[in-house]
Amino acid sequence: MYRSVLRPLLFRLDAEQAHEVAMWGLSLLDAAPGVAKVLRRRAIPERTSLRMHVAGLDFPNPVGVAAGLDKNAEAIVGLFALGFGAVEVGTVTPRPQPGNDKPRAFRLKEHEALINRFGFNNEGMQAMAGRLRELEWRPAPVGVNIGKNKDTPLEAAVEDYVKCADALSSLADYVVVNLSSPNTPGLRQLQEPEALAKLLHEVRRHVVGRPLFLKIAPDLGDEAIDAVVDVARDCGSDGLICTNTTLTRPVDHALAKEAGGLSGRPLFARSTEVVRRAFQRAGGALPIIGVGGIFDGEDAWKKICAGASLVQVYSGFIYQGPPMVKDILDVLETKVSEAGLASLSQAVGRDA
């Protein structure tokens, strides 16, 4: 139904309009939590072998929504209705901001990829806090991904992250420091060890009683990944999210010249390598959420075997639609039983 009817309709719109329509549709379920609960039960039958316990949190299944899909926490109920094992909202900044000029999102259909340069368009932390306060149904963890305003100088970035942490961490199940968007000038420089240590140290003090994750870019070299892993561990981070979108263009396409971060199928290989490297460096001691180019259960299984304890999807969801969650879970369940494992958690890092 999605691929044959809905997707062709949505893909007639430009990428951002299609996104707005889809999010509006999902947000309607906010007013009907009873319906959402029934839909979720139908979407994903209970699968005990796929439950994950990560950073002190229980995830009913390992497939989460990646940040950027629900930037303002407007469609959490609708996304849970589809069966996701977690929903990460944001990136949110202290003050509302419009983001970059349109058009700022492009589909590279032939490659099942997207390029975006949204630039953290969002309604700000207070609007998000209001919505999270009203959220009554949480069948799985809700993460909040935080960032800095575009006009905040890099030297003052820590203050933005601290403001968001103060306003939102008590309303979230986990918090993500996003230093890896390519669309906020200079942001990725904060992944350098000295700046990173200062920032994580400070934010850690403000995220009380919640796991703190750090989301990193796929464009870091191997040594830089090692350094990030070391700093993240030393500064009390509870895990890494690998990875955000890439500035590289491993595809040949007329739209490849558009500025912004590339996601989807062409990102899979590099983002999986980053998962593997980070897992090896941390010796498995730092849980990893693997994201980048996951389209099906085989992809998810590869990420998990490379070292991811959980996975997230964005572009794959745009191309595959809602059935994707159940399809991935079906394959993972089969993989677990074929490998003779008692649970998916035993597969984490088995190829690393």
Ligand X SMILES: Cc1cc2nc3c(=O)[nH]c(=O)nc-3n(C[C@H](O)[C@H](O)[C@H](O)COP(=O)(O)O)c2cc1C
Beta bridge partners of 232: none
Between residues 68 and 349, which has the closer beta carbon with respect to ligand X?
68
Number of chain residues interacting with ligand X (CB under 6 A): 27
CB of 194 to ligand X, least distance (A): 22
b/e burial code for range 42-56 (CB count within 10 A of at least 16 → b)? ebbeebeebbbebbe
Contact partners, residue 152, CB within 8 Å, separation at least 6: 94, 159, 160
Residue 228 CA to residue 179 CA, distance in Å, equals: 11
- The enclosing H or E element of 289 equals strand 288-291
Residue 293 near ligand X by CB under 6 A: yes
The two tokens of residue 161 are 């992250």
Between residues 116 and 149, which has the closer beta carbon with respect to ligand X?
116
Residues designated catalytic: 181
Question: Which of 184-192, 198-206, 247-255, 292-300 is the region at the interface with ligand X (rule: CB under 6 A)?
Answer: 292-300
CB of 222 to ligand X, least distance (A): 19
Residue 272 near ligand X by CB under 6 A: no
Question: Binding to ligand X (CB under 6 A): which residues in 111-130?
Answer: 114, 116, 118, 120
Which of 27, 152, 181, 191 forms a contact with ligand X (CB under 6 A)? 181
3-state helix, strand, coil in the chain (%, to 5): 45, 15, 35
Between residues 37 and 111, which has the closer beta carbon with respect to ligand X?
111
CB of 318 to ligand X, least distance (A): 8
- Respond yes or no on whether the N-terminal peptide bond of residue 152 is cis (omega within 30° of 0): no
Residue 52 near ligand X by CB under 6 A: no
Residue 124 CA to residue 150 CA, distance in Å, equals: 12
CB 146 within 8 A of CB 90: yes
Residue 289 CA to residue 272 CA, distance in Å, equals: 11
Residues in the chain: 352
Between residues 316 and 322, which has the closer beta carbon with respect to ligand X?
316
The site map against ligand X for 30-49 (x = CB under 6 A) is --------------------
Which of 72, 152, 244, 320 forms a contact with ligand X (CB under 6 A)? 244
Which of 61, 72, 149, 245 forms a contact with ligand X (CB under 6 A)? 245
Question: Binding to ligand X (CB under 6 A): which residues in 294-323?
Answer: 294, 313-316
Question: Which of 44-52, 64-72, 301-309, 343-351 is the region at the interface with ligand X (rule: CB under 6 A)?
Answer: 64-72
Which of 60, 64, 68, 143 forms a contact with ligand X (CB under 6 A)? 68
CB of 105 to ligand X, least distance (A): 5
Residue 194 CA to residue 200 CA, distance in Å, equals: 10
Between residues 27 and 72, which has the closer beta carbon with respect to ligand X?
72
Contact partners, residue 203, CB within 8 Å, separation at least 6: 158, 161, 162, 165, 175, 177, 212
User: What CA–CA distances, in Å, run from 49 to 1, 198, 346?
Assistant: 29, 39, 10
* Contacts to ligand X by CB under 6 A: 66-68, 71, 91, 105, 114, 116, 118, 120, 145, 178, 181, 215, 244-245, 263-264, 267, 291-294, 313-316
